[in-house]
Amino acid sequence: MIHAAYPFARKLLFSLDAEKAHHTSMAALRISERSGILKHLSPTYPKSEPIELMGLKFPNRIGLAAGLDKEGNTIDALGRLGFGFIEIGTITPRPQDGNPKPRLFRLIPHEAIINRMGFNNPGIDIGVANVRTSTTFQGPIGFNIGKNKDTPNENAADDYLACLEKAYPVADYIAVNLSSPNTPGLRDLQAADSSARLLETLKKSQEKLTTQHGRHVPILFKVAPDLSDEEIKNLSRTFLEGGLEGLIATNTTLDREKVAGHPYANEAGGLSGKPVTQKATETIGKFSNEFSGKIPIIGVGGISSKADAEAKFQAGASLVQIYTSFIYQGPSLVRELIA
């Protein structure tokens, strides 16, 4: 029933401003979950073989990428739609309004989105509190963490450490976002030397936190699809030597080649959806070749069909995440990918 209703819901949501539609749909999911309606409407999903990775058990290989549930307050509702794992955020140490509106644009003919949200979120304390209220979702919950916009890059490690320490008791994994194009200077932290210093700092804290809490929470980095071959080689060496436990590839792209001519093509921000499919898959393949199976990869970027997901797996991903295609196709896509 929920699948059949989505085309109508999408027509209604797409008649609204993109950001208003986002808040409306997330609120509707929460209300449906709390009232028990979603429990009865949620379809039965095909049985899927669970996969163990990074010391975690994933019910299936299809996850929700960061960006949809920025606050971590819709986990149980989203879990009803079939996701095997959910990544919340990006969350920063302090609450942040993000960039001026409008900052979210649909490129409908391309099944794409451009966003320059700017890490709008309620801050790590509220994010942790929200996740603690999740009671029914059984899959891993990841925290995607970032630095506040007004924190200079030389102090970025302090922001990531603050989020790591506060999220550690409730997170199943931590994803360090170095690749959003919407926080000035953030992508500079992807340089091999900067990444090496940050990873070393986080790993030292992780060791202490593991002892303190009696549980090990893996640390992953999320990278952009716009890296050169040399940057990928240098980063791979850094990640292997530094003990990174997982890579999320990729974030949104700055490349506008595949949407040239669209009225929104020149809007600032990161482009996601079908136009990034090939670039993300190629990036996964290059990192996979460098890793030789030593670091697992979560593939994300333009997965809008079973074939797209299989291409990511063939390129070297062990798990995949969706976001933009979920906006366009709804819960039926999750079912298709799991089957």
Q: Residue 46 has what pLDDT? A: 75
Whether 255 has a pLDDT exceeding 90, the answer reads yes
Query: Which three-class secondary structure state does DSSP give residue 186?
Result: helix
Q: Residue 43 has what pLDDT? A: 66
For residue range 155-187, list pLDDT tens digits in order: 999 999 999 999 999 999 999 999 999 899 999
Query: Would residue 180 show up in a list of annotated catalytic residues for this protein?
Result: yes
Mean pLDDT for 82-88 is 97
Name the pLDDT band for 325 (thresholds 50, 70, 90): very high
* Beta carbons of 137 and 88 less than 8 angstroms apart: no
Residue-wise DSSP of 277-309? HHHHHHHHHHHHHHHTTSS-EEEESS--SHHHH
CA dist., res. 83 & res. 310, Å (int)? 17
Q: Residue 339 has what pLDDT? A: 84
Cis peptide before 210 (omega within 30 of 0): no
Q: Residue 5 has what pLDDT? A: 77
pTM of the model: 0.97
Name the pLDDT band for 1 (thresholds 50, 70, 90): low
AA identity, residue 205 = S
Whether 201 has a pLDDT exceeding 90, the answer reads yes
Q: Residue 41 has what pLDDT? A: 74
Q: Residue 44 has what pLDDT? A: 73
Q: How far is CA 159 from the centre of its chain?
A: 19
Mean pLDDT for 95-115 is 98
Q: Residue 45 has what pLDDT? A: 73
Q: Residue 47 has what pLDDT? A: 79
Q: How far is CA 1 from the centre of its chain?
A: 27
Whether 198 has a pLDDT exceeding 90, the answer reads yes
Which distant-in-sequence residues (6+ apart) come within 8 Å of 82 by Cβ? Answer: 42, 43, 45, 60, 62, 331, 334, 335, 338
For residue range 262-288, list pLDDT tens digits in order: 999 999 999 999 999 999 999 999 999
For residue range 214-251, list pLDDT tens digits in order: 999 999 999 999 999 999 999 999 999 999 999 999 99
Tell me the domains of the chain and their CATH numbers. 2-338 (3.20.20.70)
Q: What share of the chain in percent tops pLDDT 70?
A: 99
| Given 134, 179, 180, 325, the catalytic residue | 180
